[in-house]
Amino acid sequence: MQTLQNIRPGKTVTVLRVVGEGALKCRLMEMGLTCGTRVTVRKTAPFGDPIEVNVRGYSLSLRKQDAALVEVI
């Protein structure tokens, strides 16, 4: 399964689900990363962490370890 951390800048994907459990999963979903949401990867930091994405009309920065929990197509 492909995750958000592996998507190149400029690509748009759709969220399938957020894996994991507990507070982190809830927090990612509260930030708008829910099933069916379109996400555009805008850019990555020079060393690849964090990743900036555009979701539901706003910019969001995610650590790579958190982006690995978001499965996309």
pLDDT at 48: 80
- Give the count of beta carbons closer than 10 Å to the beta carbon of residue 9: 12
Structural domain 2-72, CATH architecture: Roll (2.30)
pLDDT band, very low/low/confident/very high, at 69 (cuts 50, 70, 90): very high
6-64 pLDDT, tens digit per residue, is 999 999 999 999 998 899 999 999 999 999 999 999 999 988 889 999 999 999 999 99
Using CA atoms, how far apart are residues 41 and 59, in angstroms rounded to an integer? 10
The DSSP 8-state label assigned to residue 20 in this structure reads S
Residue 37: which residues within 8 A CB-CB, separation 6 or more?
14, 15, 55, 56
pLDDT band, very low/low/confident/very high, at 1 (cuts 50, 70, 90): confident
